[in-house]
Amino acid sequence: MTDPNAIQPSALDQLPDRDPEETAEWRASLDAVAREAGPHRAAYLMRRTLERAEAGGIALPKLLETDYVNTIPTAAEPTVPGDEAMEARITAWNRWNAAAMVTRGSKYGVGGHIATFASAAWLYETGFNHFFQGKEADGSGDQLYIQGHASPGIYARAFLDGRLNEGHLDNFRQESGGNGLPSYPHPRRLPWLWEFPTVSMGLGPLSAIYQARFNRYLTNRGIKDVSASHVWAFLGDGEMDEPESTAALALAAREELDNLTFVINCNLQRLDGPVRANFKIVQELEAQFRGAGWNVIKTLWGSAWDELFQLDTTGALVRRLREVPDAQIQTYQTRDAAYIRADFFGKDPALVEMAKLLSDDKILECFHLSRGGHEARKVYAAYKAAVEHKGAPTVILAQTVKGHTLGEGFASKNANHQMKKLTVDEFKTMRDLLGLPIKDSDFADGQVPYGHPGADSPEVRYLQERRAALGGPAPARRTHALAPLPAPAEKAFASFDKGSGSQNVATTMAFVRLVKDLVRDKETGKRWVPIVPDEARTFGMESLFPSLGIYSPKGQTYEPVDRDQLMYYKEAKNGQILNEGITEAGSMADFIAASSAYATHGEAMIPFYIFYSMFGWQRTADQMWQLGDQLGRGFLVGATAGRTTLTGEGLQHADGHSPVIAATNPAALTYDPAFAYEIAVLVREGLRRMYGEAKPGEDQNVFYYLTVYNEPLPQPAKPAGLGIDEGIVKGLYRFNTAESAGVTAPANAPRIQLLGSGTAIHWALEAQQLLAEEWGVAADVWSATSWSELRRDAMEADAALLRGEERVPYVRQALQGAEGPVLAVSDYMRQVPDQIAQWVEQDWSSLGADGFGLSDTREAARRHFGVDAQSIVVAALAQLAKRGEVKATAVKEAREKYGL
């Protein structure tokens, strides 16, 4: 049996020990301390030794957890360079108005959250008064990711500052009538205030990391020096359960993003109860962040605890704090001194003796009120240490009480996240606690009043002076009066008009070729931001590596294995490509940061993010909503698109539905181009709309989703005639007629209109030949570049009709006079083309790839889903037979002929 006291082998045993005698002495010393002074003393000495080694730069594994105490001792706290009493009065007004706003709104049933801001008030106020840089200096300032549920407190401060009035506050969560305030940070709804949408929890921390990184990217590439900007992300401890919250911690540490600070409000509660009921979330997060390479600052206990720690000569208090689970800490918040004496202090004889020296009031002050996150001096010390730390990002773990100052009915109650109002009596108790000059008579008809010390009061003057010294209001979003970007030379787009001749070219490759030309443009080329999640070679982008370089803040510290090849793997500090590794979420966060740089930094950037279409909208659709909310602009490119086009990859790689998901996003302009020249037209139009001269009433705050395919096919020349470009942009144009295609059909032959999108148009063109040559049917072929834009236009026409305006949907205009029924086909589920069915006057039918994908050849997959040319022929004959224009037997004959 193994001796538990024996020294177990370690990795060090594989290395030669140059002084075994010295090693034995160190081990013996540790054993002696543990034997004579106890294991706790031995552990204390070892932790201090490891801390000293880390501080001295000695290469040792990091200490992942420290004691459950403040990282910065009281004696080391700097003096707050301001009027703490004044800041306390400002915070009191903000607490009051945040609670009043939500309570007043509760009578309309619109909801709201009170307890979160109550716990985090000092975390924000300290930043606003001393750290958060505004945008009136260089236009960038700091970037603030505000915790979504704390929005009432931010509105309350803007009210005190004069940026909002009582009418705004009374319209919290009531936006439809105008002059309202959105529930959470929504830039699209309140674009002068909010920069970043954060309430879809987990996306805020992920985006903050990539925003800090993108700031470095802009600086290193010489676009704009934003090295003075700092990114602050305010998060909840429960929010850290979201996988996105911690997905990029290693990236932030690896790239030494010391321009980034996470402030985690550790009130120990999530929406339904404790975050870690039987454990300690602070310790867990400390280990997680330290292990990832972050600088960790714990701000747990307020100054009332100083006396207790001074009495802790045996370490019993620190040990007890470390072992008490979070849920029990919450219980102490709601129980009397006798309970705390028995349950907390009564577990250890040394603590029993300590408790005898403490009054009940002192115990209640410590356990009910005194948390590090509620004291300006503690928070200031943490923030100052964070912004001064170099070489790594910082996380501040600030312990607070959820519902602090809202009364016994709120503080630390499991249900307080769902509690939407205070009674008048509770407000009066809160008023007395905060010392606010609000009279009982101000509660007219039981309505809680807003409080304001006056526009010229010392509080407001102090607040505004502090913000002026820091560069203006915060949070704030600025829409800069940027000059439209010049259009790239027409040559880059026109080169696709002539087609590819005898060469087979996939539309993915056509898009990449276009971008290669556009990034060479002298005026706008540097503004392109190519983003790819470790699939550049799949999409044929490796030729961009040596010419543009892959962004790396370290440059290239090695000799690449393919250095002697033309398309070698080149990393550079000023590299233009963001090659993110296998992370669609990280790539989307890159895209969001780049797409909104026109507002964040006053620099218009043109991101394109190219990805496996299946793993874009399906995996990161929530971030696409975030992108739309943040008013981002750019090109999302779903490559290897379609359910049958990506050969052999099977079910999880077969995209038959991304246009369906994309169609749900109001900011997304979704296109499924079939040909290279269509891609050129759409990119040119996208550049004009998003970055150039916008048309009257045109929303520039959109983004484009283009599907491109990996199937090499001949690219035809652009058809001659007027209106082709307009049709490509609006979503539909006639590619050819039976006559212009040169197919042979009898005079007065039955006619059908075939609508195809993306790669499906090639099956429609083959079906056009078969219908004419084998069944005597004339078919016209249409390219439906965007089913969703056709639908959007038709819905706008419907809305106009309800307003009494006559307007015909474009799809109806385009198809006006087209003979015969309409048969639509795509490489997606039928729901995609069926979006427009109700606005088509002709008889409608559709084909699509519904169901799960499968591994096989393209031909077999298309036959399986019934979308190949022969299946289109049978479906067309069925439509015509229903109308009596071909014999009913023709359908059966065709099925048998083609083996369907």
Sign, Cα dihedral of 208, 213, 217, 220: positive
Say what the pLDDT of residue 721 is.
83
Q: 3-class DSSP state for residue 634? A: strand
CA–chain centroid gap for 161, Å, is 29
pLDDT band at 412 (very low <50, low <70, confident <90, very high): low
Helix (H) or strand (E) holding 343: helix 337-343
* Token duo for residue 647: 């050969």
Say what the pLDDT of residue 54 is.
77
Tell me: pLDDT of 579 over 50.
yes
Write the DSSP assignment of 820-855 as a string of letters.
Answer: S-EEEE-SS-TTTGGGGGGG--S-EEEE---S----
User: Which of 636, 634, 646, 586 has its CA nearest to residue 610?
Assistant: 636
DSSP annotation of 408 = T
Say what the pLDDT of residue 742 is.
86
pLDDT band at 756 (very low <50, low <70, confident <90, very high): very high
Tell me: pLDDT of 819 over 70.
yes
Tell me: pLDDT of 764 over 90.
yes
Q: 3-class DSSP state for residue 264? A: strand
Residues 6+ apart with CB under 8 A from 839: 790, 791, 794, 809, 811, 812
Q: Pairing between strand 394-399 and 295-299?
A: parallel
Tell me: pLDDT of 890 over 70.
yes
CA–chain centroid gap for 900, Å, is 46
Pick the more confident residue, 848 or 402: 848
Residues 6+ apart with CB under 8 A from 501: 714
**Which stretch of 481-495, 840-854, 863-877 has the lowest confidence by average pLDDT?**
481-495
* Token duo for residue 536: 């550049």
Tell me: pLDDT of 70 over 80.
yes
Pick the more confident residue, 653 or 588: 588
pLDDT band at 844 (very low <50, low <70, confident <90, very high): very high
Contact predicate 232/142, CB 8 Å: yes
* Dist CA 394 CA 384 (whole Å): 11
Residues 6+ apart with CB under 8 A from 77: 377, 378, 380, 381
Beta-bridged to residue 751, according to DSSP, are 778
* Dist CA 246 CA 704 (whole Å): 29
Say what the pLDDT of residue 138 is.
76
Average pLDDT over residues 239-259: 97
Predicted confidence (pLDDT) per residue in 697-722, tens digit = 899 999 999 999 999 999 999 998 88
pLDDT band at 2 (very low <50, low <70, confident <90, very high): very low
DSSP annotation of 14 = G
End-to-end CA distance of the chain: 71
* Dist CA 846 CA 756 (whole Å): 10
* Token duo for residue 841: 């006057």
Residues 6+ apart with CB under 8 A from 742: none
User: Which of 517, 544, 520 has its CA nearest to residue 532?
Assistant: 544
Average pLDDT over residues 299-316: 95
Tell me: pLDDT of 649 over 80.
yes
Q: What are phi and psi of 238, to 5 degrees?
A: -65, -30
* Token duo for residue 132: 């958060």
**Which stretch of 34-43, 86-95, 571-580, 760-769 has the lowest confidence by average pLDDT?**
34-43
**Three-point CA angle 435, 441, 447, nearest 5°:** 90
* Dist CA 498 CA 716 (whole Å): 7
* Dist CA 689 CA 118 (whole Å): 43
Predicted confidence (pLDDT) per residue in 414-424, tens digit = 655 666 688 99
Say what the pLDDT of residue 419 is.
67
Average pLDDT over residues 487-512: 94
* Token duo for residue 559: 């000799």
Q: How long, in residues, is the chain?
A: 900
Contact predicate 267/239, CB 8 Å: no
Say what the pLDDT of residue 63 is.
78
| Single-letter amino acid code for the residue at 733 | Y
Residues 6+ apart with CB under 8 A from 563: none
User: Which of 622, 826, 623 has its CA nearest to residue 731?
Assistant: 826
Say what the pLDDT of residue 418 is.
61
CA–chain centroid gap for 602, Å, is 20
Average pLDDT over residues 259-278: 93
* Dist CA 161 CA 84 (whole Å): 18
DSSP annotation of 899 = T
DSSP annotation of 241 = G
**Which stretch of 45-49, 384-388, 476-480 has the lowest confidence by average pLDDT?**
45-49
pLDDT band at 446 (very low <50, low <70, confident <90, very high): confident
* Helix and strand totals (H; E) in the chain: 34, 20
**Three-point CA angle 98, 100, 104, nearest 5°:** 125
Q: Pairing between strand 394-399 and 260-266?
A: parallel
The CA–CA distances, whole Å, from 795 to 720, 789, 809 equal 30, 10, 8
Contact predicate 320/367, CB 8 Å: no
Say what the alpha-carbon torsion angle 215, 218, 224, 225 is, to the nearest 10 degrees.
50
Contact predicate 472/163, CB 8 Å: no
* Dist CA 25 CA 27 (whole Å): 5
Beta-bridged to residue 528, according to DSSP, are 606
Average pLDDT over residues 494-514: 94
Say what the pLDDT of residue 573 is.
97
Write the DSSP assignment of 162-199 as a string of letters.
Answer: TSS-HHHHHTBT--TTSS-B-SS--TTTSTTT------
Q: 3-class DSSP state for residue 668? A: strand
Residues 6+ apart with CB under 8 A from 675: 507, 715, 716, 718, 761, 783
**Three-point CA angle 339, 345, 348, nearest 5°:** 140
Average pLDDT over residues 753-781: 97
Percent over 90 (pLDDT), the chain: 81
Q: What is the mean pLDDT of the chain?
A: 93
The CA–CA distances, whole Å, from 283 to 71, 240, 288, 292 equal 12, 13, 9, 14
Helices 617-629 & 584-595 angle (0-180, nearest 10): 20
* Token duo for residue 73: 């001792």
Q: 3-class DSSP state for residue 636? A: strand
SS (H, E, C) 554-605: CCCCCCCCCCCCCCCCCEECCCCEEECCCCHHHHHHHHHHHHCHHHHCCCCC
| Single-letter amino acid code for the residue at 269 | Q
* Dist CA 636 CA 616 (whole Å): 9
Tell me: pLDDT of 122 over 80.
yes
Predicted confidence (pLDDT) per residue in 185-206, tens digit = 999 999 999 999 999 999 999 9
* Dist CA 470 CA 711 (whole Å): 55
Say what the pLDDT of residue 1 is.
43
* Dist CA 590 CA 588 (whole Å): 5
